[in-house]
């Protein structure tokens, strides 16, 4: 009798523990949601005067509110620490030009994408020798730490560029202006944000060669949260919010922006 009671008590504690873990891992059950965003990408996520601003900040706020959050806060993430901060529960969602890849999907659960960008190239305005990705052969291309964009050029397309390591795309942009690299290549929304700040000095070649499916990163296994994110993204496009935000942050760049609901990857 006593042994049976012990077993039932142990089973109850185990159930409670599992319930607690699930609640901690599910963004849709939280009233305060912490969104991880970049702090150095104009137009997408930029920290200015103590506040984060940009398309991903606004989209992250919209999605978190639709998940049921009554309070939304932001934390700076980098391309190198996104997975770690999600796994630790430091952030609940990540919107940080986070391209969905098979390798990354083994570490996090992706909602979305919330936008399908296209990898393109930014050069100095007087650069006439780089018109497409093939022209990057032998040229100095910036390699931002933690990003997969340079690999798509070198490993994916087999183009032998001269990679110049840099901690971030903001530093890549500075190197481009300082003539320390010949090109920066990544998603066109990232490039557009920087280009709007120096339109007289840089230009985008407008020769896209890959898709960049920007996803919402969640803690691995948060399927409920992922499904809620996808519903929120659908609503964001259907009610016109996405079109408004894209025009607000990138309309002046001249990029052809997509305002239809992206095809989702599916939660797994």
**Among candidates 127, 64, 196, 13, which has minimal Cα distance to 5?**
13
Q: Is the pLDDT of residue 8 over 70?
A: no
Rounded Cα distance between 224 and 238, Å, is 21
Rounded Cα distance between 168 and 178, Å, is 15
Identify the structural domains of the chain with CATH numbers, from first to last: 19-116+213-253 (3.40.190.10), 118-211 (3.40.190.10)
> Do 145 and 77 touch, CB atoms closer than 8 A?
no
Which pLDDT value is given to residue 255? 77
pLDDT digits (tens, 9 = 90+) for 117-174: 999 999 999 999 999 999 999 999 999 998 889 999 999 999 999 999 999 999 999 9
| pTM for this predicted structure | 0.80
CA end-to-end distance (rounded Å), the chain: 43
Q: Tell me if residue 59 falls in helix, strand or coil.
A: helix
> Do 117 and 250 touch, CB atoms closer than 8 A?
no
Mean pLDDT of the chain: 90
pLDDT digits (tens, 9 = 90+) for 90-110: 999 999 999 999 999 999 999
pLDDT digits (tens, 9 = 90+) for 199-226: 889 999 999 999 889 999 999 999 999 9
Q: Is the pLDDT of residue 12 over 60?
A: no
Which pLDDT value is given to residue 25? 58
| Crossing angle of helices 188-195 and 241-250, rounded to 10° | 50
């Amino acid at each position: 009798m006593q042994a049976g009671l012990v077993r039932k008590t142990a089973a109850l504690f185990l159930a409670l523990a599992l319930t607690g873990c699930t609640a901690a891992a599910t963004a849709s059950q939280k009233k305060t949601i912490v969104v991880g965003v970049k702090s150095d990408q104009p137009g997408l996520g930029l920290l200015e005067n103590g506040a984060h601003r940009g398309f991903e900040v606004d989209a992250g706020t919209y999605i978190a509110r639709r998940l049921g959050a009554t309070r939304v806060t932001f934390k700076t993430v980098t391309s190198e620490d996104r997975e770690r901060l999600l796994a630790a529960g430091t952030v609940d969602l990540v919107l940080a030009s986070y391209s969905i890849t098979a390798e990354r999907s083994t570490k996090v659960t992706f909602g979305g994408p919330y936008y399908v960008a296209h990898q393109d190239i930014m050069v100095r305005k007087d650069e006439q020798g780089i018109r497409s990705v093939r022209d990057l052969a032998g040229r100095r291309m910036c390699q931002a730490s933690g990003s997969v964009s340079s690999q798509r050029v070198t490993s994916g397309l087999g183009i032998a560029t001269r990679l110049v390591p840099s901690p971030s795309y903001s530093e890549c942009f500075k190197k481009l202006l300082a003539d320390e690299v010949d090109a920066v290549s990544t998603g066109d929304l990232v490039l557009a944000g920087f280009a709007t700040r120096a339109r007289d000095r840089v230009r985008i070649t407008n020769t896209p060669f890959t898709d960049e499916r920007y996803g919402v990163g969640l803690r691995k296994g948060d399927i409920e949260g992922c499904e809620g994110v996808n519903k929120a993204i659908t609503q964001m496009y259907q009610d016109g919010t996405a079109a408004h935000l894209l025009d607000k942050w990138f309309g002046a760049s001249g990029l052809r922006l997509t305002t239809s609901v992206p095809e989702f990857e599916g939660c797994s």
